[in-house]
Structure 1
Amino acid sequence: MASPPRHGKPRQGPSYRLALFDRDFLLSPAMRGVRLQIETEKAEEALRAWGVRSTIVVFGSSRLREDGPPHHAGWYAEARAFGRIASERGGALQLVAGLRDNVIATGGGPGLMEAACRGAHDAGAPAIGFNIRLPHEQQPNPYTTPELTFQFHYFAIRKLHLAMRARALVVFPGGFGTLDELFEILTLRQAGRMGRVPVVLVDEAYWRRLINWEVLVEEGMIAPGDMELLHFAAGAEAAWHLLDDAGVRLRA
């Protein structure tokens, strides 16, 4: 039998902690579903407070720099120009009935994501950064709007927020992460799980050198009509015209 507490003071174990402040409990496997919901709702509340109804998602390499090799610097300049053009012409600068459309959204990191956010910043428009917590910490770029700069633990929730408000996807040259996000959206479109969201790849030469898209059709891996999910643009202005033709513009 356990000895009674001294001086009548009750003993308190972890079970006595308020659940809200019990870190061990909240980080336990049993609470994973709750953590997923919390990550979803925190970003949702902030986006709702800013009236963000729709986004234009921009993907691209985090490794490129403005002062890099000429073709890298060119991609950076085009991504920055696109962020400005889309913000000025798409409606991100204007609240209509308390709602804001076509806000630039990226993964929040450096490189071409920074460039697109910088373009929105040049226009005086908000920019969203959906950052992810990584072993080697990813720092948010300085051009995302502070109230719309998020950090996620779960890739799934980050992907959810990147996709759920997207009215268009514009993809600049990138590596594994860019390809992952690109094929995620293409798969959703192909499977009919996403609306008619146009997908524009900037710099056709890069994308055709990287992927032989026609092989997928020739080998029967995708239907010929699936190629219509892809559009290619030479640069920022051409990318915006493709979106404008697809109806991605300021809503009345």
Structure 2
Amino acid sequence: MDDPDSNAAQLASPSYRLPALDQDFLLGDSMRGVRFQLEFAKAEEVLRAWGIRTTLVVFGSARVREDGPGRHADWYAEARRFGKLASLRGGAMRDVGQVRDNVIATGGGPGIMEAANRGAADVGAPSIGFNITLPHEQEPNGWSTPGLTFRFHYFAMRKMHLAMRANGLVVFPGGFGTFDELFELLTLRQTDKAPPIPVVLVDETYWRTVIDFDAMVSHGLVSPSDLSLFRFADTAESAWQSLIDCCLKPHPPSDYVPVP
């Protein structure tokens, strides 16, 4: 017979758990809004602690490899070079405690994302990886700064963090995921829901092959002026110059030297 003076059942009851330590409760449907808020707050707190004021977001295919076929190797090399020169020239190379600008930010995975993070790491600059939990688990690449490598459950919150500090967007060739991110940012720009940041598409031949932008205009689905929301570039250097031409403000360190 149970001891009538024992409170073991009460102590073991799920209702007695502290809410902040009750995983069953926190992962329930009613707490979805709280989880959404936590995904915002955690990354925000870390980015502020690192002094990161603005970023340069780099999108592109996760399937691109450094030794891949066709243009893959070229795309990887240019994304890596862009991560390097943007980090040197943009303002990411600040001392601890100083404000950092134009820090490379990617989706944190392989391919183009890895290349851009790797370019930043080549020169000792911090870079961000905004990873997402997927059915086929995406692991972070080995080049984003460990303390700036995040994981999100909600695509919407991940996209918000990618967009909210962005000073510019550089998009390398990619598939559905890259298109999703690109057109979301273009829509925000088109509707004035985002500030007028420059958007650069790298490898004009690829982009004009896969998307007929002029056809959208001829069918009356976008305005001719909407095509001014982005520019094309073919190299890391020309992508950087396009950002500068579109009023990106670089913040190079005092000992800056040109990229070799």
**TM-score, structure 1 length as denominator?**
0.96
Q: Which residue of 1 aligns with 2:111?
A: 111
Shift of 1:16: 1.0
Which digits, 9 at most, give the CA deviation of each residue in 1:56-97, with x for residues without a partner?
000000011101114110000000011011111111112597
Give 2:237's aligned amino acid: E
Q: Is the 8 A contact 1:75 1:172 kept in 2?
A: yes
In the alignment of these two chains, the number of paired residues is 249
Equivalent-residue separation in structure 2 for 1:170 and 1:250 (angstroms): 15
Q: Which residue of 2 aligns with 1:36?
A: 36
1:119-134 equivalent positions in 2, closer than 5 A: 119-134=119-134
Q: Which residue of 2 aligns with 1:66?
A: 66
Which digits, 9 at most, give the CA deviation of each residue in 1:107-132, with x for residues without a partner?
00000100011111112110100000
Change beyond 3 A, Cα 1:56–1:30:
same
Q: Is the 8 A contact 2:51 2:97 kept in 1?
A: no
Equivalent-residue separation in structure 1 for 2:116 and 2:41 (angstroms): 25
Equivalent-residue separation in structure 1 for 2:175 and 2:218 (angstroms): 25
1:1-252 equivalent positions in 2, closer than 5 A: 6-10=3-7, 11-12=9-10, 13-95=13-95, 98-251=98-251
Q: Is the 8 A contact 2:50 2:97 kept in 1?
A: no
Which digits, 9 at most, give the CA deviation of each residue in 1:26-56, with x for residues without a partner?
0111100000000110000110010000000
Which digits, 9 at most, give the CA deviation of each residue in 1:207-234, with x for residues without a partner?
0000000111111111110010010001
Shift of 1:190: 0.3
Equivalent-residue separation in structure 1 for 2:33 and 2:163 (angstroms): 20
Equivalent-residue separation in structure 2 for 1:48 and 1:71 (angstroms): 37
**TM-score, structure 2 length as denominator?**
0.93
Equivalent-residue separation in structure 1 for 2:33 and 2:158 (angstroms): 15
Q: Is the 8 A contact 1:76 1:112 kept in 2?
A: yes
Equivalent-residue separation in structure 1 for 2:148 and 2:198 (angstroms): 24
Give 1:15's aligned amino acid: S
Tell me the secondary structure at the aligned position of residue 8 of structure 1. Answer: coil
Stretches of structure 2 lacking an aligned partner (at least 5 in a row) = 253-260
Q: Is the 8 A contact 1:92 1:102 kept in 2?
A: yes
Give 1:160's aligned amino acid: M
Equivalent-residue separation in structure 2 for 1:152 and 1:18 (angstroms): 24
Tell me the secondary structure at the aligned position of residue 168 of structure 1. Answer: strand
Which digits, 9 at most, give the CA deviation of each residue in 1:152-174, with x for residues without a partner?
00101100000000000000000
Q: Is the 8 A contact 2:57 2:166 kept in 1?
A: yes
Give 1:9's aligned amino acid: S
Equivalent-residue separation in structure 1 for 2:96 and 2:244 (angstroms): 19
Identity over aligned residues, as a percent? 62
Equivalent-residue separation in structure 2 for 1:66 and 1:17 (angstroms): 50
Q: Which residue of 1 aligns with 2:257?
A: none
Shift of 1:105: 0.2
Change beyond 3 A, Cα 1:243–1:33:
same
Q: Is the 8 A contact 1:114 1:143 kept in 2?
A: yes
Equivalent-residue separation in structure 1 for 2:247 and 2:125 (angstroms): 20
Q: Which consecutive aligned stretches of 4+ in structure 1 deviate over 4 angstroms post-superposition? A: none
Tell me the secondary structure at the aligned position of residue 151 of structure 1. Answer: strand
Shift of 1:245: 1.4
